[in-house]
Amino acid sequence: MGADPDGALLLALQGGDEAAFATLVRRYHTRLLRLAETMVPSRAVAEEVVQDTWLGVVRGIERFEGRSSVKTWLFRILVFRARSAGSHEHRNLPLDDADPLEDRFGPGGAWSTPPTLWSDTVDDRLAAEDLVRRVRTHLPELPEAQRRVLVLRDVEGLDADDVCEVLGLTAGNQRVLLHRARTRLRAVLEAELAATGEG
C-alpha cells in the first residue's frame, strides 16, 4: 500500500489541529453519508450515524495505528456505528428465476466471458455524465449488501481487501456481491436505454 494521502492530516489531527479535522470532515462527510444511507432506513438516521462516526474519530484518533488508510478507518468506524445503531434491517433478496449470473462463471470460478469496463464504452463526457446520473437513480434498487460493496468499490475507489475489512466480508463474498451489483445495474441500464431507443 502506498503512502496514505491523508497521512499529514492525521498527524495534524493527532496533534490537536482543529483545521485538520475540518478538512477531514469536508473531504469525507458526503462520502460517509452516501455509505450510511445504504445501511440505515432513512437519511436522518444516516446523518446521525455519520455524526457518531465523527465523534468516534475524535475519541479514537490517538489509538489509530495506521494499519489501514485513514479512509478505510473512517468507513470501518461508520459501518460499526451503523450496525450498532440498531437501525440496520437485514434484507436478503433472493435472485429471481431469471438469474443474471447464470453461465457467467466457469467451473473454476473464473469469468466465462469477462465483463466489459463501462468506461471503455463511453464515447464522450456528456454520455459519461448521463450514465452517472442513471446509475445514481437506480442504485437504491440494489439489495443493501450489493449496494454497499458497489459504493465502496466503484464510487469510493476502495480496493477489494479494504472493502472486505470494512464490511467484514470474505474475498469471495465481496467478489460475488460486486459482480451481482454490477450485473443487476447493467441489466437495468440496458433495459432503460433499449426502451428509450438509446441502446
Is 106 contained in some domain? no
Q: Which domain holds residue 148?
A: 118-195
Residue 16: burial class (beta carbons within 10 Å; 0-12, 13-18, 19+): exposed
175-196 average pLDDT score: 88
Q: How far apart are CA 37 and CA 44, in angstroms?
A: 9
Which of the listed residues 84, 108, 139 is the one where a domain comes to its end? 84
CATH code of 171's domain: 1.10.10.10
Considering only residues 96 and 187, tell me which one the structure prediction assigns the higher pLDDT: 187
**Does the structure show a pLDDT above 70 at 36?**
yes
Is 96 contained in some domain? no
Is 34 contained in some domain? yes
Cβ atoms of 20 and 13 within 8 Å: the answer is yes
Is 92 contained in some domain? no
Clarify whether residues 71 and 128 are in a common domain. Answer: no
pLDDT at residue 174 in the model: 94
Is 91 contained in some domain? no
pLDDT at residue 90 in the model: 42
CATH code of 16's domain: 1.10.1740.10
pLDDT at residue 38 in the model: 86
pLDDT at residue 110 in the model: 61
Is 50 contained in some domain? yes
Q: How far apart are CA 80 and CA 148, in angstroms?
A: 14
pLDDT at residue 95 in the model: 44
Which of the listed residues 84, 103, 138 is the one where a domain comes to its end? 84
Considering only residues 45 and 194, tell me which one the structure prediction assigns the higher pLDDT: 45
Is 147 contained in some domain? yes
Task: Among 48-52, 115-119, 188-192, name the one with the lowest average pLDDT.
Answer: 115-119
Clarify whether residues 129 and 173 are in a common domain. Answer: yes
Residue 173: alpha-carbon gap to chain centroid: 15
Q: Of 60-69, 129-138, 179-188, where does the model show the most confidence?
A: 179-188
**Does the structure show a pLDDT above 60 at 153?**
yes
Which of the listed residues 41, 62, 84 is the one where a domain comes to its end? 84
Clarify whether residues 122 and 68 are in a common domain. Answer: no
Cα 172 to Cα 8, 49, 131, 160, 163: the distances in Å are 34, 28, 28, 10, 12
Clarify whether residues 124 and 79 are in a common domain. Answer: no
Report the mean per-residue pLDDT for the chain.
Answer: 80
Task: Among 86-90, 123-127, 195-199, name the one with the lowest average pLDDT.
Answer: 86-90
pLDDT tens digits for 88-108? 444 433 444 455 555 655 666
pLDDT at residue 179 in the model: 93
How many domains in the chain? Answer: 2
pLDDT at residue 138 in the model: 85
Structural element, H or E, at residue 166: helix 160-167
Task: Give the rounded percent of residues in the chain with a pLDDT score beyond 90.
Answer: 32
